[in-house]
């Protein structure tokens, strides 16, 4: 099965003044919360906590997106006029290409009605602020490539690994050295050929598991 890369967030925005992210317009206050989540049950448990904390708020609409292809989506207006809250939040998530995440926006009514268009813009903007504040990672499919070599080759191979900016895991130092490299699946042959040339054919290779690895997203 082909593994594909996707972008998600690392977790709930820290509670040190960054979460929730506040957006205020016409005296209405919108507080955006964002979490990383893998399934709907996890989101619903989290939503209960948000609503309990903000029991005086009139509305807490939300949206969630799951799956590598963002093919599982759900949203709720939570009492706001149809299509003015949950859908704009959902679109904010989709517009940023983020999955396995949920956004809830708490609204405290300020006494001035925003109208349907105003609500759509406000919820979309608040959700976007929350998502933009969250740290993101690119879940990248990588394959473990074990490289076994003699100690006299270690320095030159480690130099290659640094220059190629390959991710590594803990090496095994025994009679020989076995390096554990994390390599993009399409680049395995390229790196094997380069290391074979570099070591005059003395390096030996073994492929391990393929898995998604979190790479900081800029």
Question: Which pLDDT does position 19 carry in this prediction?
Answer: 65
Of all residues in the chain, the percent with pLDDT exceeding 70 is 94
Q: Which CATH number fits domain 141-211: 3.30.70.240, 2.30.30.110, 3.40.1260.10, 3.60.20.30?
A: 3.30.70.240
Beta carbons within 10 angstroms of residue 189's beta carbon: 9
Q: What is the pLDDT of residues 47-64, one digit of tens each?
A: 999 999 999 998 999 999
pLDDT of residue 17: 43
Rounded alpha-carbon distances, angstroms, from residue 150 to 86, 156, 196: 59, 11, 13
Which CATH code for domain 6-134?
3.30.230.30
β partners of residue 24: 29
Contacts of 30 (CB under 8 A, 6+ apart): 22, 23, 24, 105, 106, 107, 122, 123, 125, 126
Dump pLDDT digits (tens) for 70-100: 999 999 999 999 999 999 999 999 999 999 9
DSSP symbol at 37:
-
Q: Mean pLDDT throughout 132-151?
A: 94
Nearest to 167 by CA among 207, 213, 199: 213
Domain with CATH 3.30.230.30 in the chain: 6-134
Q: For residue 152, give every residue at least 6 positions away whose Cβ sits within 8 Å of its Cβ, in sequence order, or none.
A: none
Every domain of the chain with CATH number 3.30.70.240 lies at 141-211
Confidence of residue 218 (pLDDT cuts 50, 70, 90): low
Predicted local distance difference test score (pLDDT) of residue 172: 96
Please, what's the b/e burial string for 3-42 (b: 16 or more CB within 10 A of its CB; e: otherwise)? eeebbbbeebbeeeeebbbebeeeebbbbbbbbbbeeeee
Share of the chain above pLDDT 90, in %: 82
* Per-residue pLDDT, 84: 95
Per-residue pLDDT, averaged over 185-197, amounts to: 95
Please determine, for residue 131, whether its predicted confidence score (pLDDT) is greater than 80.
yes
Nearest to 8 by CA among 88, 77, 103: 103
How much is the average pLDDT of 116-139?
93
pLDDT bin (cut points 50, 70, 90) of residue 16 is: very low
pLDDT exceeds cutoff 90 at 217: no
| Mean pLDDT score of the chain | 92
Query: What pLDDT is recorded for position 14?
Result: 55
**If you average pLDDT over residues 158-164, what whole number do you get?**
96
How confident is the model at residue 47, as a pLDDT? 94
């Amino acid at each position: 099965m082909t593994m594909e890369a996707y972008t998600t967030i690392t977790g709930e925005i820290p509670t040190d003044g960054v979460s929730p992210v506040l957006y205020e317009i016409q005296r209405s206050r919108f507080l955006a919360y964002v979490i990383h989540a893998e399934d709907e049950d996890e989101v619903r448990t989290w939503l209960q906590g948000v609503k309990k904390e903000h029991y005086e708020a009139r509305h807490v609409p939300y949206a969630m997106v799951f799956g590598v292809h963002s093919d599982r989506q759900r949203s709720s207006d939570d009492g706001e006029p149809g299509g003015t809250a949950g859908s704009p939040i959902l679109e904010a998530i989709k517009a940023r290409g983020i999955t396995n995440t949920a956004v809830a926006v708490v609204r405290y009514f300020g006494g001035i009605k925003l109208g349907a268009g105003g609500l759509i813009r406000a919820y979309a903007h608040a959700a976007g602020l929350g998502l933009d504040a969250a740290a993101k990672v690119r879940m990248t499919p990588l394959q473990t490539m074990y490289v076994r070599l003699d100690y006299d080759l270690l320095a030159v191979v480690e130099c290659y690994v640094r220059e190629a900016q390959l991710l590594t895991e803990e090496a095994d130092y025994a009679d020989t050295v076995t390096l554990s490299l994390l390599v993009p699946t399409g680049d395995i042959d390229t790196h094997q050929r380069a290391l074979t040339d570099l070591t005059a054919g003395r390096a030996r290779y073994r492929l391990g598991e393929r898995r998604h690895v979190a790479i900081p997203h800029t």
